[in-house]
Structure 1
Amino acid sequence: MITVPFARTVALVALAALGLLPALAQATTPKPPQVERLVLLMRHGVRAPLDGEVPPATRTGQPWPHWNAPAEQVTPHGAAALRALARADRRWFAAAGLVAAKGCPDPAALRLWTNSSPRTIASGEAYAAGFAPGCGVTVSHKPEGANDPIFEPLGAYPAAFDAKRAVDSILRYTGSAEALTRRHAKGLTLLKQVLACPAAPCSPVEPSSVRASEDGHGIDLKGPIRAASGTAQVLMLQYLEGMPLAQVGWGRATPARLEALGAVHGALFDVFSRPPYMAAFQMAPTVDRITQDLTAVTAPKIDMLIGHDTNVAALAAVLGVPVKAPGFATNDPSPGGGIAIALIRAPNGRQAVRLWYRSQSATDMRAARDRTVWAPLRLAGCDEGIEHRCPLPQFLKRLETATAPARG
């Protein structure tokens, strides 16, 4: 691990974003501050494709490669990458004063809470094994398959959700489903080149539209973005899984192309996670948990929440910050990547919050290396000093305001 002063690391991360120092930036991590508490909302690890993630009507020039895991589940390599991620986190947390560097952590200091799906539970178990090998760290969750509003709030059918207002918010945010498709025309064309199907179109053709679902509890998106988003994600997962490059997109999906295609995958969140009304409902129960983590006397020092890319995208929207992991498109949450919210003491002695997007690079995830990047996040209008602090009362008020539409 290469360590450099915090200010210089920020500069390196900025240069990396411009493509000037990608290799060095991936190997650097800011020196942790002293932290009182930390909550980290992260996506699960690398998994096999979801059933239907590549629409059945999608055509390719060659068969898709075989996966060494059941559909939708974390792969053995994905678990190894999560264990590596946890080892790197353990070093950062120890340097921040949250846990001891070695040994079994105090059960009251660390809480791992996952969604109730098998892939999130498996992700929590792999993370626990890497964080504290042999310690049997508890991974908590609701019964498998039960709805957990922290991660799937619309699945709890909140009474206040108004699908018409949701669609209106989506249309204002995107311009229209057709406009969203036009903005990603280059990515959709690139996807066709990678698929190399015998005759166009490669992906199912359907007019772009966004409307309330028939039951009134959700949103239905149709069109090229809906059809292509999952396909783009599967191609990236092939690379992260460590498949030979000749198999990743049949040898046509280079790392640079995969990063570009990530924008097509991330476009899905412009409908389901980022419009203000959608973000409010996707985040209200999670914001309640975060608020409790930062204020309750009985809260643990570290609360790890392991869910999905939709959760990370929605929290980023509520906070008004971008997320970017090396090798991934901006606002395309990476497997294992997450937003860290740290409670610290400002120089005036008052409690404040600092934010990071913590991730592995795509190349480190592919190799299951225990290196992470902690990219500082700045809250517009609440950004004090070189540490980008936000006073705790202001931070909590922002969360409350952003999720107000979901509170009746």
Structure 2
Amino acid sequence: MRLLLLAATLLTPLPAAAQDKVERVVMLMRHGVRAPITGEAPLDTKVAGEWPAWPVAPEFLTPHGAKAIAQLARHDRHWLGTTGCPKPGTVRIHTNTPERTIATGRAYADALAPGCKLPVDHLPAGQVDPLFEPLRAGATAFDATKAVAAITAYTGGVNGLTARHAAAIRELDRVLGCGLPAGCSTPGPATLKPSADGRGVDFTGPIRATSGTAQVILLQYAEGMPMRDVGFGRADAVTIKRLGALHAALFDVFTRAPYMAAHQAGPLGDHMLKTLTAPTGPRLDVLVGHDTNVTALAAALGVDLDAPGFALNDAAPGGALVLTRRRDARGPYVTLSYRVQPLDAIRAGAATVVDRPIAIPGCAKRCPLDRFDKLLRAKLAPVVTG
């Protein structure tokens, strides 16, 4: 893996035959390190020890998380070669409505362009943003019955999904330390069915129960808590990465099956493609959402999320899929990368950032803009209008 400052990519002169121009960047980023969501580790989970306190309310971005987002923004500022305050309209930052996404957008904006008071756009509190919550918003013609069939085909069934992660579930039981033969989470058998309102799927069972608990332990580590408080003192970085497979498994149900990816990424993908293909627009368009958004777009693109310290396809706090529109003598083309901090860098507050170039499936090394547009649109559910 190469550790790259994006500045090296955009500011270092290329050989004459390879010279090109960066015209536009569109990125979809997960919010930064937050306090656990109430019930994320199920309330009936049994533990030997006490869950540590957090410095902010449930679901809120932490001060430590905001500092990590600022590190990413400073990296991106160098990447873009930004000096001074950007001209109006050249940077657009849009977030979902929860505090953790808005605060992430604000931390990013303030570090990207210090003192410039870049606007951070979002819908009013309580309003569902179809970009980030398309199923709730009814933004596509989603069919929950078709979704269940597609998820079952993709996973081989939710009981099979549980069986494949049995070792990680046992590892989590060891970390929780309850010592009960039945395990520390006792959610019953795995089930998957259409939700009552038809706008989603209801998923229960061991993966549903343990995925959130694994994420809470990862967030403790990322927050920089003393190791005695991380997983009750029984989880190191290697263990946390293994447990992360449980959180990543949740996305096999909610975002990575092709049908789910098409609908979960439909509005966001449409927005990003319109931004990339428009004759004019912001030079940098930043969308701040959630792990479900990033994993859905990755699945629609047909790529994996791979970052140091994280399980495969477990979206990192602050991690972003970056689409860059470039132009050379043959015309505009698109490159894809995953810009992320390693887990240990987030924990330490370090400036280390990994920019991992990703080959775009269906394209050679260079993906013309019109071909990329067709490839991704073919994987997205159309947005419902009217």
Normalised by the length of structure 1, the TM-score is: 0.89
Structure 2 partner of 1:71 = 58
Which of 294, 304, 314 in structure 1 is aligned with 2:286? Answer: 304
Distance 1:144 1:106 in 2: 28
Distance 1:188 1:227 in 2: 10
CA displacement at 1:186 relative to structure 2:
1.2
Which of 255, 271, 279 in structure 2 is aligned with 1:273? Answer: 255
Structure 2 partner of 1:97 = none
Q: Does 1:57 align with 2:44?
A: yes
Structure 2 partner of 1:123 = 104
Structure 2 partner of 1:172 = 153
Which of 298, 307, 324 in structure 2 is aligned with 1:316? Answer: 298
**Secondary structure at 1:331's aligned position in 2?**
coil
Distance 2:4 2:336 in 1: 17
Cα RMSD of the aligned pairs, angstroms, is 1.5
* Structure 2 letter corresponding to 1:50: I
Distance 2:152 2:383 in 1: 18
CA displacement at 1:405 relative to structure 2:
6.5
CA displacement at 1:232 relative to structure 2:
0.2
- 1:58 and 1:146, CA in 2 relative to 1: closer, same or farther beyond 3 A? same
Distance 1:293 1:246 in 2: 46
Structure 2 partner of 1:208 = 190
CA displacement at 1:43 relative to structure 2:
0.1
Distance 1:404 1:121 in 2: 27
* 1:120-150 CA distance string (max 9 Å, x none): 0011011111111211110001112211111
Distance 2:377 2:67 in 1: 37
**Secondary structure at 1:321's aligned position in 2?**
coil
CA displacement at 1:399 relative to structure 2:
1.5
CA displacement at 1:161 relative to structure 2:
1.2
Structure 1 partner of 2:236 = 254
Structure 2 partner of 1:43 = 30
**Secondary structure at 2:295's aligned position in 1?**
helix
Distance 1:400 1:81 in 2: 33
| 8 Å Cα contact 1:112/1:138 also seen in 2 | yes
Distance 1:298 1:390 in 2: 20
| 8 Å Cα contact 1:280/1:406 also seen in 2 | no
Structure 2 partner of 1:20 = none
Q: Does 1:350 align with 2:356?
A: no
| 8 Å Cα contact 1:283/1:403 also seen in 2 | yes
Alignment gaps of 5+ in structure 2 = 11-20
Identity of aligned residues (%): 49
Structure 2 partner of 1:400 = 377
Distance 1:158 1:107 in 2: 30
| 8 Å Cα contact 1:277/1:405 also seen in 2 | no
Which of 223, 230, 254 in structure 2 is aligned with 1:241? Answer: 223
Distance 2:64 2:129 in 1: 27
* Structure 2 letter corresponding to 1:37: R
* Structure 1 letter corresponding to 2:373: L
CA displacement at 1:298 relative to structure 2:
3.2
Distance 1:68 1:159 in 2: 38
CA displacement at 1:160 relative to structure 2:
1.6
Distance 2:295 2:161 in 1: 17
CA displacement at 1:406 relative to structure 2:
6.2
Structure 1 partner of 2:13 = none
Worse-superposed segment, 312-321 or 102-111: 102-111
* Structure 1 letter corresponding to 2:302: G
* Structure 1 letter corresponding to 2:323: I
CA displacement at 1:217 relative to structure 2:
1.3
**Secondary structure at 1:266's aligned position in 2?**
helix
Q: Does 1:381 align with 2:358?
A: no
Which of 166, 171, 180 in structure 2 is aligned with 1:190? Answer: 171
Structure 2 partner of 1:86 = 73
Alignment of 1:119-158 (within 5 A): 119-158=100-139
| 8 Å Cα contact 1:292/1:299 also seen in 2 | no
Distance 2:4 2:379 in 1: 33
* 1:71-93 CA distance string (max 9 Å, x none): 01001111111111111111112
| 8 Å Cα contact 2:35/2:57 also seen in 1 | yes
Give aligned pairs, total: 373
Distance 1:255 1:396 in 2: 39
CA displacement at 1:28 relative to structure 2:
3.9
Distance 1:175 1:406 in 2: 29
Normalised by the length of structure 2, the TM-score is: 0.94
* 1:260-304 CA distance string (max 9 Å, x none): 111110100000001111111111111121111112133101000
Structure 2 partner of 1:19 = none
Worse-superposed segment, 160-169 or 231-240: 160-169
| 8 Å Cα contact 2:29/2:288 also seen in 1 | yes
Structure 1 partner of 2:312 = 330
Distance 2:231 2:241 in 1: 13
- 1:113 and 1:406, CA in 2 relative to 1: closer, same or farther beyond 3 A? closer
CA displacement at 1:407 relative to structure 2:
6.2
**Secondary structure at 1:402's aligned position in 2?**
coil
**Secondary structure at 1:123's aligned position in 2?**
helix
* Structure 1 letter corresponding to 2:264: Q
* Structure 2 letter corresponding to 1:153: P
Distance 2:86 2:348 in 1: 27
Distance 2:279 2:293 in 1: 26
Worse-superposed segment, 81-90 or 30-39: 30-39
**Secondary structure at 2:246's aligned position in 1?**
helix
| 8 Å Cα contact 2:139/2:384 also seen in 1 | no
Distance 2:140 2:256 in 1: 21
Worse-superposed segment, 61-70 or 102-111: 102-111
Q: Does 1:107 align with 2:127?
A: no
